Amino acid sequence: MDYLKGLNTSQRQAVEQTQGPVMIVAGAGSGKTRVITYRVAHLISKGVDPFQILVLTFTNKAAKEMRERIMKVVGAEAKNIWMGTFHSVFAKILRVEAHKIGYPNNFTIYDTDDSKSLIKAILKEMNLDDKLYNPNFVYGRISMCKNNLISAAEYNQNEQIQAEDFSTGRGMLGKVYETYAARCFKAGAMDFDDLLFKTNVLLKEHPDVLHKYQHKFKYLMVDEYQDTNFSQYLIVKKLAAVNYNLCVVGDDAQSIYGFRGANIQNILNFQKDYPDVKIYKLEQNYRSTQNIVNVANSIIANNKNQLDKNVFSENDIGDKIKITRSFSDNEEGKSVAESILQERSNNALNWSDFAILYRTNAQSRSMEEALRKLSIPYKIYGGLSFYQRKEIKDLIAYFRLTFNPSDEEAFKRVINYPARGIGKTTIDKIIVAADQQNQTMFEIISDAAQHLDNRAALSVSNFATTIKSFAAVAKNSSAYDAALHIAQHSGLLKDLYDDKSVEGLSRYENIQELLNGIKEFSEREDIEDKGLDVFMQDIALLTNDDNDKGDNKDTVSLMTIHSSKGLEFPQVYIVGLEENLFPSQMALNSRADLEEERRLFYVAITRAEKKLHISYATSRFKFGSLINCEPSRFLDEIDPKYLELDFVKKAPAGNPFFENERTQWQSKTSSSNTSSGDYFSKPKPPVAGKVKTTSLLAKAHVPTEGFTPDDTSNLQVGEEVEHERFGFGKVINLEGSKPDIKATIFFKEIGQKQLLLKFAKLRIVKN
C-alpha cells in the first residue's frame, strides 16, 4: 500500500473508492494517469481478478504506459487486465463473437484507404460524379452515421436525411451507403467504425453475449470520457448495467474533438445517468506555474456549459504571459524564432524544451522558414513538414516540370494528377519508349502519335501542351502570377477545392499558404529577379532538412493544438491568435462551436510548464492578398494582471502612440477589472442602427418554413437575405473574388457580420 502515500487527499479518495459509479474530474496536469494506474493496482491488491477489469483508452500509447506503471506495483498480474483502445478491445471480442452476426471470425479490418478505394469503385460502377460525390465526403458521411448508430437501412428510411441529400443533389448517398455495407459484408470485412457499430449490433441482438460480458467485466474504467461518441457511450452503459462499477475519468474543459463525433454531454450528464455517483475533483495542477493556471482559468470561465471546479497551482507564481504583436505572419515567425534562440541561451535550455502550437497546419510554413534561417532544429509532430505534404509536393512538381521537362520524378508524379485518363499501362509504354529511343519521357509525349495509340496519344499530348504553356507564362511573369496560373490551369486547385471534407479543406488551405509565401517573395524589395525559378531554388535548399537525422531528439516541436493534447513543455508559443483563425471562422456560428474553440485554447495554454508566449499578427497573406487581422476575442478574456505586452514593453520611449498604450495598460492592470475588455481590438466606427453587439445572446431565429439556401455566387449589394440562425439582413458590402467572396451583412436582430458566401447558406429574399 506504499503507493497510496504519494497521493494527495482527492487522488487517494478516488483510488480507494472502488465500488459503484465514480466520476473523476481531472483538471490539466492534475496527475490523472497516476490515479487511473493506482486505482487499477488497488483493485488487484484487494483481490479483484485482473481478468475482470476492463480499462478503455483512446490511444495505444496511453494503454501501454498505464500497463507498465501497474506492473511496477502489482507485477506480472497486470498483463491479464483487459486494457486498450475502444477499437482494439472490441475487435478482440468480435474475433470471438462475430459469427453470431454473420461475419467470419477472421474478418478483415479495412483501413481508411481500403474504405475509400471501395467507395471510389462503387461510385464508378453507379456512374456517379465523383466531384459531387467526393469519396472523402462520402466516407465521412458513412463514418458519421455509424458513430451515431445509423445503419444503411435506417439511413434510407429517414425522411429528414433523405430530404437533406436531395436538396444538395446527392440523393444517391443512401444507395452508396447500402452498397458499401453490403460489399464489406460480402467480403467478410469491417471498417474502423464497424468495430464499434457491430459491437453495438452484437450486444443488442444477442442478449446472451451481452450477459456474458456484463458478468465478465465487473469493473470498468474509461479514460478521456469527454471524448466518447454515442456509439462508445452506449457500449459502456450496457456493459456496466449489471455490476454498476463504472469509473470514468476526464475533463470537460479539454473536450476538443466534436468534429470527430465526440459528445461533451456524455460527461456533463454523467450524474443524470448515475444519480448515486461519487464525484472526485482533481484540482491541483502540478505541471504549470500559478500565472499559467490563472490565465487558463480566466479563459475557460467564459464557457457556460461546464462542470464546476477550481483548478489551482502551488508551484512558483512564474513569469507573466508574454503577448507579442507582429505586423505579418512572416514577422511573427521571425519573432518566435528569435525569442526561442534568446530563451535557450539565457536559461541554458534544450531545443526540446520548446513547442510552437498553431490552430491550422498551414501556419507551420512561416514558423519553419524562420527556424531554418536561424539554424534551429525542429520537428513537425503528428504531421509532415509543410513542404513534405502531398499537395505541396504535387504543386511543386508542376513547378519543377515547368522549368525542367526532363525531371522524370516530377513527370511521373503529376502526369495523371489531377486524373486525366492516363493510366499505368500508358505510363509504362512511355517509360519503355523513352528507354528504347534514348529520350526523356517528356520528349516521347511531345511526339506521342509515334509511340502510343490514338486515345492515349491525345491525353498525353494535351498534357505536354499544358506544361509548355506553363513555361511560356512563367518566362514573362512574376513568381506569384506564374504559380497561381499553374495551380489553376493544372486543375490541382479545383480538385482540392471540390473536396469538402475536413482533410480536403486543410489541403486546400495548405496550397493557399504556399501561394501566400510566393506572393510575399514576389513583393520583396531586396532581390531583383523574382521569377518562379528563383523561388524554386530557394525551396530546393529549404527542403534539404539537415537537422532531422532521425536520432536527434533535441528539436523544437511544431504541432497543431489538437496534436498537443496530453503533452507538456517547459516553454510554449501559441501563435496566430486572430479572429477567424483562432477562433476559427467555422466556429462562429454557434455557442457550442465557439465553446469548443475556447476549450482548445485552454488545452494549448495548459501544455506550458514554466513560460507561455502568445502572439498574433495584424496582417496575414490569404488567397494571395494581404488582409488585415483583428486580435482574437480570447485575448480580451484574459485577466490583464497576468499579462506582459511585449510590444508595449519594447516600444521606443517618447513615441506618443506607445506612451498612450502604456498608460492604457497600466490603467487596465491596476484596476479591479478581471477582463482585458477590448484593449487588443482596433477602434471601430459605430454602425448605424446596430441594436446588439453579439449574436450568441440573441433570441434564436426561426427560419422561414421550407428554408432552402440559394446560389449566392451572383449576390449583389443591397439584396435582402435570410440566414438560418442570424435571421433577416441586407448586404452592405462584397469583397474578394469567386469562389471566396466575403459579404458584410447587417442583420436586423444581431447587427453586422462578415460571412464567406461559399459557407454562409443564405436564402435570397424575393421582394
Give the bridge partners for 721, in sequence order.
729, 764
Task: Count the helix, strand and coil residues of the chain and give each as a percent rounded to the nearest 5.
Answer: 50, 15, 35
Residue 100 has phi, psi (to 5 degrees) of: -70, -20
Closest CA to 598 of 635, 543, 565: 635
Using CA of residue 27, residue 30, residue 34, residue 38, what is the dihedral sign?
Answer: negative
Q: Residue 608, SS3?
A: strand
Indicate which residue of 11, 32, 320, 596 is catalytic. Answer: 32
Contact, 93 vs 200, CB < 8 A?
A: no
Query: Is 130 among the catalytic positions?
Result: no
Q: Give the strand order in the sheet containing 53-57.
A: 82-85, 53-57, 219-222, 246-250, 22-26, 278-282
Using CA of residue 145, residue 146, residue 149, residue 155, what is the dihedral sign?
Answer: positive
Closest CA to 602 of 216, 302, 264, 207: 302
Q: Kind of pairing, strands 108-110 and 378-380?
A: unpaired
Classify each residue of 230-257 as buried b or exposed e, where b means 16 or more C-beta atoms within 10 Å of its C-beta: bbbbbbbebbbeebebbbbbbbbbbbbb
Query: Is 325 among the catalytic positions?
Result: no
CA R_g for the chain: 29
Which residue's entry shows cell 498574433?
616
Rounded-to-integer distance, Cα 71 and Cα 75, Å: 4
Rounded-to-integer distance, Cα 243 and Cα 19, Å: 9
Query: Is 530 among the catalytic positions?
Result: no
State yes or no: 31 annotated in a binding site. Answer: yes
Return the ∠ at Cα 593 (arms to 589 and 597), rounded to 5°.
120
Indicate which residue of 365, 519, 565, 607 is catalytic. Answer: 607
Q: What type of residue sits at position 584?
A: S
State yes or no: 32 annotated in a binding site. Answer: yes
Indicate which residue of 13, 18, 33, 108 is catalytic. Answer: 33
Query: Is 607 among the catalytic positions?
Result: yes
State yes or no: 261 annotated in a binding site. Answer: no
State yes or no: 30 annotated in a binding site. Answer: yes
State yes or no: 33 annotated in a binding site. Answer: yes
Per the document, the length of the chain is: 767
Query: Is 33 among the catalytic positions?
Result: yes
Query: Is 254 among the catalytic positions?
Result: yes
Cα dist from 692 to 63, 125, 716, 726, 749, whole Å: 49, 53, 25, 12, 7
Which residue's entry shows cell 494528377?
417
Indicate which residue of 97, 165, 194, 223 is catalytic. Answer: 223
Which residue's entry shows cell 455517483?
277
State yes or no: 26 annotated in a binding site. Answer: yes
Indicate which residue of 224, 329, 369, 407 is catalytic. Answer: 224
Indicate which residue of 37, 179, 254, 571 is catalytic. Answer: 254
Q: Is-cis flag, bond preceding 685, omega within 30?
A: no
Which residues fall in the annotated binding site? 26-33
Binding-site entries for ATP = 26-33
The residues that are catalytic are 32-33, 223-224, 254, 607
